[in-house]
Structure 1
Amino acid sequence: MKLPKELLNGGIIFIGIGAYFLLMNALGYADLFYLRLLNVFFIFYGVNRTIEMNINEGKKNFVDNAISAMITSLTGVFLSIVGLAAYSYMNGGDAYVKNLPESFLFGGNPSVNTYSICLLFEGIASSVIVTMLLMLYWNNRHITD
C-alpha cells in the first residue's frame, strides 16, 4: 500500500524537525530561540514538495492543492507535537518542560500539556502562513484555466 503524498511529506517534515531539534539539543544550542525558528524551513520543504508533486501529476486546481498542502503541513505539525510530548515525558515530564528556556512562549511553570497545546496553535498558524505563501508562489507560476 502506497502512502498518500500528504502523509509521506508530513512524515518528512516530522523527521526533519525531530532530527533538527535533537541535533540542537546534542550540540547545546537548544536554548537559542532564533535557531528554533528555523524549523519553518522543514515545513516549507514538505509543503512545497506536495504541491510540486500535485502539479507534476496534472492537478492544477488551486483549492485542491491548497487542501493537500494544508493536510501536509498539519500532519507534520501534529506528529511533531506528539513527538515533543513523548520526548518530554521520557525526559521527566513537567520537570523537563520547566527546564526549557522561558524566552520562547511562556513564563511561569507550564506543564507538558500546556506547552504542547501552545506549540500546536503556533504550528497551526505557521502551517496556514506557509500554505498561503507557497500557494501564491505556485499560482503565479502555473495559472490554471
Structure 2
Amino acid sequence: MATTTAAQQRAQAKVAYDAFVAACPSRRLLDRISDKWVTLILSALGSDAPHRPGADCAGEPRAMRYSELLRLLAGVSQKMLTQTLRSLERDGLVTRTVTPTVPVTVSYELTDLGLSLYEMTRGLKSWAERHMDEVLANRESYDTRTT
C-alpha cells in the first residue's frame, strides 16, 4: 500500500472539488460569494464605489470605514453588514484594521484573494446595470403572456 504525503492529499482533494456534488465545500463558497451584499461590498472596496470629492484614488481599490460602507450600501442593516464583513474576513477576502483613535476607527480592505474575486464580480454588476432595461421588458412581456 502506497502512502501519500499531505501535499499529495491536498492536491487530490483540490482536483475532487466539484460544485455539482452536493457535499462539495465549493458549493458553500459559491452560495456565500453569490450573495448580493458580498457582491456590493466587493464592488465598494474595489474601484466601483463613488470616491470622496478631490480624492486622487478614483478607479483604485481602497480601504473604507464601516460607516462609509453602511451609508453607501442602501438597505443593508448593521447586523447584515457586520455578518457579511466577518464572513469575508474569515474567508480571507477582506482585512479588518482597527485604529486606536477616539472613537475607534475600523476600516476594511480587499486582500489579493478578495481583489481577484472582485475582478470577477465587477463584470456581473456591470452586466446587471447595462441590461436591466432589457430584463424588465422581458419580465413584462412574459407576465403579459402568462396571465
- Classify the TM-score, shorter chain: under 0.3
Which structure dedicates a bigger proportion of its chain to strand? 2
Q: Identify the structure with bigger relative contact order (alpha carbons < 8 Å, sequence gap 6+).
A: 1
TM-score, normalising length: structure 1: 0.27
Which structure dedicates a bigger proportion of its chain to helix? 1
